[in-house]
Amino acid sequence: MANYLAHFQTIKNACDHLVIAVEDVSDLWPAVRKGFEERLPLKRAYLNNKTRNSVLVEKLSAEFIITTDPRLRSRFPQEQLLFWFREPYATVVLVSCEDLDEFKTILKPRLKLIVQNDEREWFIVFVSKAHPSNDQATKMAKRVYAKLEVDFNSKKRERCCKLDIHCPEPNFWEDLESKIMESIRNTLDRRVQFYEDEIRKLSEQRLTPIWNFCNFFILKESLAFMFEMAHLHEDALREYDELELCYLETVNAAGKQRDFGGTDQGDDQAALLNPGNKLLTQIVQDDSFREFEFRQYLFACQSKLLFKLNRPFEVASRGYSFVISFSKALAHHESMLPFCMREVWVVSACLALINATASHYNDGFGAPDIEKGFYCVQGNLYSLCRVKFMRLAYLIGYGTEIERSPVNSASLSMLSWPMPAVWPPVPPDASSMVLEKEKAILQATPRVKHFGIQRKPLPLEPSTLLREANRRRASLSAGNMVEMFEGRPIIFDGSGSDASVRMSPSSKVHVISMTRTNSSPINFESSIDRPMRLAEIYVAAEHALQQTISDTDLWKSLSSVEGFEKKYLELTKGAADNYHHSWWKRHGVVLDGEIAAVCYKHGNFDLAAKSYEKVCALYAGEGWQDLLAEVLPNLAECQKILNDEAGYLSSCVRLLSLDKSLFSTKERQAFQSEVVRLAHSEMKHPVPLDVSSLITFAGNPGPPLELCDGDPGTLSVTVWSGFPDDITLESLSLTLVATSNVDEGVKALRSSSAPILKPGRNTITLTLPPQKPGSYVLGVLTGQIGQLRFRSHSFSKGGPADSDDFMSYEKPARPILKVSKPRPLVDLAAAISSALLMNEPQWVGIIVRPINYSLKGAVLYIDTGPGLKIEESHPIELERHFGVSQSTTDMESCDQPRKNDSSVAIKEFEQLILQNGRIVLPDWASKITSVIWFPICAISDKLARGTSSVMPQKPSIVDGMRTIALKLEFGVSLNQTFDRTLAVHFTDPFHVSTRVVDKCNDGTLLLQVTLYSQVKATLTIYDAWLDLQDGFVHAGRGDGRPASAFFPLVIAPTAKAGILFCICLGTTIPGEGWLSLWAPDNLLNLLDICLCLYIGCDIATKSFLPHDLSVWNFLRYLLIARGLLCLVLLEIRSIHNTEKLYILSILPLDKAGNDAKAPQPESMLNIRYGIAGNRTIGAHEPVTVEPARSEDSKQDLIFRSALVLQRPVMDPCLAVGFLPLSSGGLRVGQLVTMKWRIEWLKDFDENSISENNDEVLYEVNANSETWMIAGRKRGHVSLSKKQGSRIVISILCLPLVAGYVHPPKLGLPNVDEANISCNPAGPHLVCVLPPIFSSSFCIPA
């Protein structure tokens, strides 16, 4: 089967689509050919893949070929089976017949003969030539077609269709395509099954000696090629993948040695995308193929299918992996290949893949992840090609032109040298070239970095090229012997991305070395000449490369320095641009630095600076300071050349910010000198810079500074300077950031002086203004050095006192300041707990209690309210407070840090002076609770009034309230204020109530005066007397003293005592012009007759209407003359045993006669007393404002209280009775009539009843929760003034609740309650029944 290999490749090249055979029985093909070929390619064809799943093919290429064509002539049976994929997939039989007999005798037998081959998929197309106007011919054609269907159609399949030439039916072409696709599908399935069976048979023989890979390859590729013709590219790709795996297993299997290949002219150019680069017959070797050509051929077939599937990304990713693996295979056979064959092949393969995949890739049409992955692979291909290209350039002496950057050093130092069997010798006529190379080596000088930075150049080779080349000069060198007997060294093929490798100073490739000797191994001859010089090695390598490289473009790039730089820049830009579009953007930035080095070399400093800035930003962001130290000086040099002062200043600061170990002290001092020089130069605009790595700061160790709301303070901050020398700052400020409220913003603290930062640790003190409550952390440190405005965001925690570890960051940031929420810092309270004496100077104490806060320098302002007066002539007293409520813990916690200060002695008492209502607290009282005593007097012109014990009324404390407004200013700068208004209660010492305890038979009344102590102090009564009002006189003694005088009388605090006075009703002449006479009806007949005669009225009717005022005056003088100046009380008993008292008021004289003196309307109680109390509790002895008298002399106090004595009314005038309710009772929700009867019991007194004698005002009062009043609640009723008159008042009421409740009450507002007799006498209850159940809400059972 291997003999058909050449023929197989010829068939593949000539056939790329399916064939449909046309059997023209009736010579119809020329007539119908155009219509048939217009249907190609077939649209939306459904074929079965290898797994028998239906696959949609949008366009299926095919070709109609008549059976008489030479291309379909008969072949040998074995050849037909072997190349079955090129045979027709369907056979179309064209027939036409207009006579039924002809069909039966001629056409039918012929058709039977044609279709008898079971291997062919066929169907018959009957072409009707009958014109539509010829009915007979049309009918005959239909009959013939019907007979054709009967003979050749079956139940499973219809194999006939009809084409009318003159007017084709609309569905004919769809029917034709359907039958063609059915035939192709069946044929494809049958042939796929055939190839699978044959392949399976060969696979079973793989471990047998008769196994032949060529036979397996022809069958496998025939199946793949058939899938490719059917546009089933996925299945074809799968077959090639399986073929590659099978081949690799065959190659790697232990057995006879095979030729690798790769030694032909032009093999240095990769053929990864050209499957026809070499004929299969050229690469066949025994029963297999050479690995070098065949693996590339398989990949080219795979890539062709992937391009047809529009998957260039997969081509690139597969190609990158293939290049890596194939490079290792080349390294394994490197000793048999031309010099640097591996590097040259990798370069050409990468460039071919890059160009092919880039041309097939439609940017923006793929998914984002596919697009980024494609650019990433492209970047890897560029990077790999770049590394190999640099290795070739280094071998021919261009090493001085390669930038010794970290990325280049990391890539080339890990890439092994070429390992030929023998290092190429120097050509005989190369002396001039060697001289030129030596001259170039001598003239090459490394570029000196800016600032005089001295660095050891980074290596670009794994080992010394001079030693490596001399080791391989002879085939029997010591190095080769080690490789021969101990194994081959580890090969670094440079497959990793050069941009992703970070060079480590300790990473070195150790190459096995052996001491060279002149001895040679056994049976080997040695030809060791003198060692080659480096220039000779370059010339020899260049000469050998010229023999290896067949690509003129590649050799042109290596033939000159300009060509090398151009190609190098092209590859570097390609890698960087692709990395920028992928996920590996950092790789692109790193390669931008290599582009910047080339731009700098050629004087394009602007582009170099832009690229260096990207690289520096990447290294700084990743924290690669050692790499940043290599690139940042280059950026600074570019900026200096471009006169970019701001950028140059920033670069110098960044150089200072790097780790100290990266530069020497002298170099760092040079950086600082440049910073200072530029900062103080004449720059147009200030330059803001971030120096977070150069200047760090933190709060001092220990707890944060704690302040109260509104307090200023001083904040100490530790600043670490990374400058090598002292540096003077024009300004320095620090911001505080609130941790609790993000909307609070930042607050800047500025240093008052220009600080000088020394290298290492510095302590800066900042003035702290009042801050809002919350926790604060350090924000940003800002400052200015000349025109340089710097800021630092770096927070560091302070280490030990002797440590300068300013790069130890703390996370999270520790609070540096805590401002407490508004809380009570001080408390002002009254030192007294009870009332003080009214109208007497009293001590008022104010307790000043600091709450964990110092009151040093505090000022207290006192402002008295109305009715208060401070006795400013008396000094203010300040004393330490030892109250019960003050705990020891509060005293100890009050300003604990400053309490230890023994410079201020704590006193117990001090006198102060009140100036304009202002008191300054002394220092000794700033830490303790103290009391300020100042004399004050509450002024009140209101006379105390006694009350009756029948209707007691407590005195209102509101009348004695006075307010004192206090304002305390304290704090460091008196910024804290505390305002409080204290209410102080002042009162009279006694509250007086009176009652008549007994009435004697002789008309004497015993009046009891009860004295209630209203102060928490001991009161001592020394004397008491009562000045009676008009109408009352003292019985017995006339001095007004009490009947029993047990003086001095001591009254305990809040206790009470009684004093008994004996008085009687009588006439008093308080002054000229008044006379009051109380006369009973049993006086002397003469006086009674005279009085009744001149008054002109009947005493029984109480009509006091005098008719003659002159006679009345005469009578009054007569009575005065007879000594009737007092009130006489007589007790008489009527026949009904009732006591009647009549009052006669003598009207005053006319004002024209004599001067009148105002009467005394109320009695006056006078008490002389003394008080003994404690000022810390309440009332006490009044403050002595005048000069002190002798100690024995005491100041007695006088208390006066007005008493109103009233005569009782013995008989009521009106009777109000509640009439009984109906016998039905009361029920909730039912109206009921409430009735009251009002009756006059006697003739009315005009002073007791309303002015309108014919009307009485009534008012009904009821509980709204119990009753609802339906009638008029208030009104007037007409009632006669005669005794015995009565009236009934009726009101409709509605009870609301059930139970025993109080009924509504009838009241007479204009009548004194003493003149009303009620029945029943007190509150009573009535029974209210629940409501009756309603049947309307009941549900019948």
pLDDT at position 799 over 50: no
293 or 812: which leads in pLDDT: 293
Confidence tier at 296 by pLDDT (50, 70, 90):
very high
pLDDT at position 795 over 80: no
pLDDT at position 613 over 70: yes
Q: What is the pLDDT of residues 834-845, one digit of tens each?
A: 889 888 999 999
- List CB contacts of 724: < 8 A, sequence separation 6 or more: 656, 665, 668, 669, 672, 759
pLDDT at position 776 over 70: yes
pLDDT at position 476 over 80: no
pLDDT at position 891 over 70: no
The whole-number average pLDDT for the span 362-384 is 86
| Residue type (1 letter), 142 | K
Separation of alpha carbons 595 and 573, rounded Å: 7
pTM: predicted TM-score of the whole model, two decimal places = 0.61
The whole-number average pLDDT for the span 940-962 is 77
- List CB contacts of 540: < 8 A, sequence separation 6 or more: 423, 424, 425, 426, 427, 430, 469, 532
Question: What does the pLDDT read at residue 109?
Answer: 86
Confidence tier at 1152 by pLDDT (50, 70, 90):
very low
pLDDT at position 381 over 90: yes
In 3D, which of 84, 92, 82, 111 has the Cα closest to residue 21?
Answer: 92
Tokens for 160?
Answer: 């006939």
Confidence tier at 943 by pLDDT (50, 70, 90):
confident
The whole-number average pLDDT for the span 134-142 is 83
The whole-number average pLDDT for the span 9-32 is 83
Q: What is the pLDDT of residues 823-865, one digit of tens each?
A: 888 898 888 888 898 889 999 999 999 988 888 889 999 998 8
Confidence tier at 896 by pLDDT (50, 70, 90):
very low
Question: What does the pLDDT read at residue 506?
Answer: 37
pLDDT at position 569 over 90: yes
The rounded radius of gyration (Å) of the Cα atoms in the chain is 65
Question: What does the pLDDT read at residue 349?
Answer: 94
752 or 352: which leads in pLDDT: 352
pLDDT at position 73 over 70: no
pLDDT at position 332 over 60: yes
Helix residue ranges per DSSP H, 581-624: 585-601, 605-622
**At 785, phi and psi to the nearest 5?**
-120, 100
Give CA 248 to chain center in angstroms.
Answer: 59
In 3D, which of 535, 569, 566, 563 has the Cα closest to residue 396?
Answer: 535
DSSP of 836-873: EETTSEEEEEEEEEESSS--TT-EEEEEE-TTEEE-TT
Tokens for 897?
Answer: 């840090």
- List CB contacts of 1085: < 8 A, sequence separation 6 or more: none
Confidence tier at 638 by pLDDT (50, 70, 90):
very high
Question: What does the pLDDT read at residue 316?
Answer: 93
Confidence tier at 389 by pLDDT (50, 70, 90):
very high
Name the β-bridge partners of 118: none
Confidence tier at 115 by pLDDT (50, 70, 90):
confident
In 3D, which of 557, 587, 552 has the Cα closest to residue 384?
Answer: 587
1341 or 136: which leads in pLDDT: 136
Confidence tier at 519 by pLDDT (50, 70, 90):
very low
Question: What does the pLDDT read at residue 456?
Answer: 80
Tokens for 484?
Answer: 């021969």
End-to-end CA distance of the chain: 109
Name the β-bridge partners of 1027: 1164
Q: In this structure, is the dihedral angle defined by the CA atoms of residues 220, 222, 223 and 224, taken in order, positive or negative?
A: positive
Question: What does the pLDDT read at residue 1046?
Answer: 76
**Among 248-257, 756-765, 1112-1121, 1246-1255, where is mean pLDDT lowest?**
1112-1121
925 or 383: which leads in pLDDT: 383
Question: What does the pLDDT read at residue 909?
Answer: 85
pLDDT at position 1129 over 50: no
Question: What does the pLDDT read at residue 1111?
Answer: 45
Sheet holding 1255-1261, edge to edge: 1274-1278, 1255-1261, 1305-1307
Q: What is the pLDDT of residues 698-750, one digit of tens each?
A: 887 788 888 888 888 888 888 888 899 999 888 889 888 888 765 555 678 88
Question: What does the pLDDT read at residue 290?
Answer: 86
Look-up of token digits 């309650």: 1313
H or E, element range at 551: none
**Long-range contact pairs involving 1039-1045 (C-beta distance under 8 Å, separation at least 24):** 1042/1009, 1043/1006
Confidence tier at 770 by pLDDT (50, 70, 90):
confident
Tokens for 638?
Answer: 């570019």
What is the overall mean pLDDT for the chain? 78
Question: What does the pLDDT read at residue 812?
Answer: 60
Look-up of token digits 């299997």: 253
Percent of the chain past pLDDT 90, that is, above it, reads: 17
pLDDT at position 631 over 50: yes
